[in-house]
Amino acid sequence: MQFDWKRIKLVMAPMEGITDVRFRLLCRHYGADLVYSERINSYAIVRGNKSAMKTMEMSEGERPIAMQIFGGKTDIMVKAAKMLEDKADIIDINMGCPAKNSIKIGACAALLRKPAKIKEMVEAIVSAVSKPVTVKIRADNALRNALIIQDAGASAIALHARYTKDVYSGKADWDLIKEVRKELKIPLIGNGDIKKAQDAVEMLKITDCAMIGRAAAKDPRIFYEAKELMRKEGIA
Ligand SMILES: Cc1cc2nc3c(=O)[nH]c(=O)nc-3n(C[C@H](O)[C@H](O)[C@H](O)COP(=O)(O)O)c2cc1C
């Protein structure tokens, strides 16, 4: 399905325990062009788990919203994606979370080492839902994985340019974002270490969209400040 990515510059990153309806509305108010739900366990969605249902709540004022799912089993991920497709504007697949319990079940960042599984999962979800499908990845095998994801039919990719083993330490590798951007045809959302509004502008100079996490959690007005700077610098 078509989605107007040209309208999307500033993106609010998914953050478990933070990016609920109220926070997402606040980010939209301050200028985020796209918001994400936190990652939702595909098994929990399929089983109708109460807390998963709560996490799936959204309000119309948030649109466009990407709902993020995770899991290691393609059939369950497909079912969960289908259950979300009426609500979500985008179905996003989490292939970046480094949490041990996710890796253990072959989900999230564990998938970055399994190119065949990436292809299978993305193709299956893309063909099952009528909404655009995106994937959030990390630096591990980034170029190879991004090309597989693109070929599998995804509409865009978000790259948190930090390796799984580094969790949140060290510095995000923006040169890697540049390198992947050069090779992709679909939009690339750059993520990692946008600490102030000017950093978002710098990210937009190297790729299509800038995704902001922790700095927005501290102060969502960063989206407003970034929009102001973008206007000054003539970035639409
Ligand atoms: C508290 C917290 C929760 C997070 N939860 C998720 C999540 O549910 N899904 C996801 O893809 N990334 C998650 N992330 C990663 C962020 O989306 C983002 O990739 C990371 O924080 C790097 O961006 P930043 O430097 O702008 O914070 C989380 C990060 C934090 C700090």
Residue 14 CA to residue 84 CA, distance in Å, equals: 16
Q: Which helix (H) or strand (E) holds 197?
A: helix 197-206
How much is the pLDDT for 132? 98
- Tell me what the mean pLDDT of segment 66-78 comes to: 98
Q: What is the pTM of this model?
A: 0.98
CATH topology for 5-233 is TIM Barrel (3.20.20)
Atom of ligand 1 nearest to the CA of 211: 26
Name the percent of the chain lying above pLDDT 90: 99
Residue 42 CA to residue 78 CA, distance in Å, equals: 9
pLDDT in tens, 168-200: 999 999 999 999 999 999 999 999 999 999 999
What's the 223 CA to ligand 1 centre distance in angstroms?
17
Domain ranges across the chain: 5-233
Residue 181 CA to residue 175 CA, distance in Å, equals: 10
Residue type, position 169, single letter: S
Residue 34 CA to residue 51 CA, distance in Å, equals: 23
What's the 18 CA to ligand 1 centre distance in angstroms?
10
Helix (H, G, I), strand (E, B) or coil at 3: coil
With tokens 């289908």, the residue in question is 82
Query: Which residues carry out catalysis?
Result: 97
- Tell me what percent of the chain is helix, strand and coil, each rounded to the nearest 5: 50, 15, 35
| Residue 35 · residue 59 · CB < 8 Å | no
> Whose C-alpha lies nearest to ligand 1, atom 18?
213
pLDDT in tens, 196-223: 999 999 999 999 999 999 999 999 999 9
How much is the pLDDT for 32? 98
Residues 6+ apart with CB under 8 A from 201: 210, 226, 229, 230, 233, 235
Residue 205 CA to residue 162 CA, distance in Å, equals: 19
How much is the pLDDT for 93? 98
Residue 1 reports pLDDT greater than 90: no
Helix (H, G, I), strand (E, B) or coil at 166: helix
Residue 52 reports pLDDT greater than 90: yes
Residue 2 reports pLDDT greater than 80: no
Atom of ligand 1 nearest to the CA of 13: 17
The burial class, CB within 10 Å (0-12 / 13-18 / 19+), for 179 is middle
